[in-house]
């Protein structure tokens, strides 16, 4: 099958996947107990006020009517109004999503740069002290819960050394809002970013390191490495140009999927460091029965996973000509 036919077929699959995905989301959220007025009842909302609110939100309509309305909105790129905030969902999510991307992208980039480098070296220096020590460190990092790593970092860098702020994205009391550069370009922001990003990097580090090491070991056993060595090429050239490059393929898939899930934010990191990202917003939207906001958040996150998988499939073909389209 040719590339074009393959891409077309994958695109069609994509459409079906998306349909199944958002329908499932709709059904799941409507099956959840409670409704968006539940959180106000104990604060004094009367039964009359409650009915009035339910009618305003259109939740007294039959389910299929609500579903059709939901699909219609989605197709026009409109996620609707948040039930709780009374603001357009898009404007709420845009900011949160950006905050999460900046945090998680930083964490992932560090994790993968460090992970790939160390994994390659661990494979190269097999049976050395470096490899054995590296495996121990990696496994410890992998098995440490994120909240624990976060609290340890807080204890050391905040409570003991006092080098970094304990939470948030910037020092309170300053100018709010501003453009991308004003928000994410300042030194103050970077100081706030450091600890949560480091926590994320430690959590994501193990997978690329261990994967890189084990594929390196396979590749190093291959004949062509011996030949390259026999050709008298410098060790560094063999390591980076031939061995490491050939080992990187599985990393691409893993990285793509990790990126997808990371974009949903890490509830744990965002909670420990009070980072105003997607993860926490999703949790609070679910707790408040704020269906439009929760569904939009899950939709966005799921979409990134679906699309990154798609990208990984295509990237495979590009990176390794032996992979065929089927």
Partner 1 sequence: MGDDSKSRRTVLKGVGAASAAGLTTSLAGCVSQNGESDVDGAENLGDEVPEIHFVAPTAGANPFRNELADIVADNWEDLGFDVDLEELEFNAHVDQVVVQQDFDASLLGWGGTPERIDPHTFIFDMHHSSTTGEGGRNTPGWESDEYDELAELQVTQVDEDERQQTVYEAQEMIAEAQPRTYIANEGGYEPYASSRITDINPTLGEGLNSFWNLTSVTPTDDDTVRFGYPSEIISLNPMQDLATPDRQFVRLLYDQLYRIGEDGMPTPWLATDDPVIEDDGMTYTVEIRDGHTFHDGEPVTVDDVEFTYNLYADSPTYSSLVEDIEEIETSGNEITFHLAEEYAPFVANVLGQVYIFPEHVWGDVAPEELVDYEDEDWIGSGPFEFVDWERQAELQLSAFDDHFEAPNADNLIRVPGADTAQLVNDLEAGQLDMVGAVPQPTAVNRVREDDDLDLSEFEAIGYAMIEYNTRREPFGDRHVRRALSYGVPKEEYVEFIRDGMGTVTHSTISEHNEFWHNPDVEEFYEDLDAARQELADGGYGWDDDGRLHYGEDQ
Query: Where along the sequence are the contacts to partner 1 (CB under 8 A)?
Result: 32-35, 37-50, 52-53, 56, 84-86, 92, 95-96, 154, 158-159, 165-170, 172-173, 175-177, 270-274, 276, 280-281, 284, 287-289
With H, G, I as helix, E, B as strand and everything else as coil, classify residue 15: helix
- Tokens 């997808």 correspond to what residue? 260
Which is closer to partner 1, CB of 183 or CB of 228? 183
Asked if 12 contacts 326 with a C-beta cutoff of 8 angstroms, the reply is no
Helix-strand-coil percent breakdown of the chain, rounded to 5? 75, 0, 25
Least Cβ distance, residue 186 to partner 1 (angstroms)? 14
- Tokens 């490059």 correspond to what residue? 245
Longest alpha-carbon distance in the chain: 85
Which is closer to partner 1, CB of 146 or CB of 270? 270
Which is closer to partner 1, CB of 54 or CB of 254? 54
Which is closer to partner 1, CB of 13 or CB of 284? 284
Which is closer to partner 1, CB of 48 or CB of 231? 48
Task: Give the CA distances from residue 189 to residues 141, 224, 281, in Å, rounded to whole numbers and listed in that order.
Answer: 26, 48, 20
Least Cβ distance, residue 26 to partner 1 (angstroms)? 19
Least Cβ distance, residue 245 to partner 1 (angstroms)? 42
Least Cβ distance, residue 142 to partner 1 (angstroms)? 24
Which is closer to partner 1, CB of 192 or CB of 242? 192
Cα distance between residue 212 and residue 138, in whole Å: 12
Least Cβ distance, residue 305 to partner 1 (angstroms)? 24
Least Cβ distance, residue 65 to partner 1 (angstroms)? 22
Cα distance between residue 315 and residue 21, in whole Å: 24
Sign of torsion over alpha carbons 37, 38, 44, 50: positive
């Amino acid at each position: 099958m040719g590339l074009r036919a393959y891409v077309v077929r994958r695109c069609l699959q994509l459409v079906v996947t998306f349909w199944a995905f958002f329908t499932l989301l709709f059904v799941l959220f409507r099956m959840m107990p409670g409704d968006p007025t539940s959180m106000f009842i104990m604060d004094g909302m009367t039964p009359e006020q409650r009915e009035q609110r339910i009618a305003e939100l259109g939740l007294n309509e039959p389910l299929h009517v609500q579903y059709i309305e939901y699909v219609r909105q989605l197709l026009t790129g409109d996620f609707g109004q948040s039930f709780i905030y009374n603001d357009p969902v898009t404007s709420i999510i845009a900011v949160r999503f950006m905050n999460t991307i900046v945090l998680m992208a930083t964490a992932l980039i560090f994790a993968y740069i460090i992970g790939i480098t160390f994994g390659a070296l661990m494979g190269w220096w097999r049976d050395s002290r470096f490899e054995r020590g590296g495996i121990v460190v990696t496994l410890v990092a992998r098995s440490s819960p994120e909240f624990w790593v976060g609290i340890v970092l807080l204890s050391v860098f905040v409570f003991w050394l006092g080098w970094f702020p304990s939470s948030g994205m910037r020092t309170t009391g300053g100018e709010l809002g501003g453009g991308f550069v004003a928000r994410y370009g300042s030194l103050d922001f970077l100081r706030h970013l450091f600890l949560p990003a480091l926590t994320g990097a430690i959590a994501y580090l193990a997978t690329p390191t261990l994967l890189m090491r084990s594929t390196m070991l396979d590749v190093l056993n291959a004949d062509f490495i011996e030949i390259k060595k026999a050709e008298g090429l410098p060790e560094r050239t063999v390591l980076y140009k031939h061995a490491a490059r050939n080992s990187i393929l599985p990393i691409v898939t893993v990285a793509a999927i990790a990126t997808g899930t990371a974009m949903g934010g890490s509830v744990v990191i965002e909670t420990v460091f009070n980072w105003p990202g997607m993860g926490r917003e999703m949790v609070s939207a679910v707790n408040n029965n704020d269906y439009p906001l929760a569904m939009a958040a899950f939709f966005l996150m799921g979409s990134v996973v679906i699309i990154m998988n798609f990208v990984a499939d295509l990237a495979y073909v590009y990176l390794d000509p032996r992979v065929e389209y089927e």
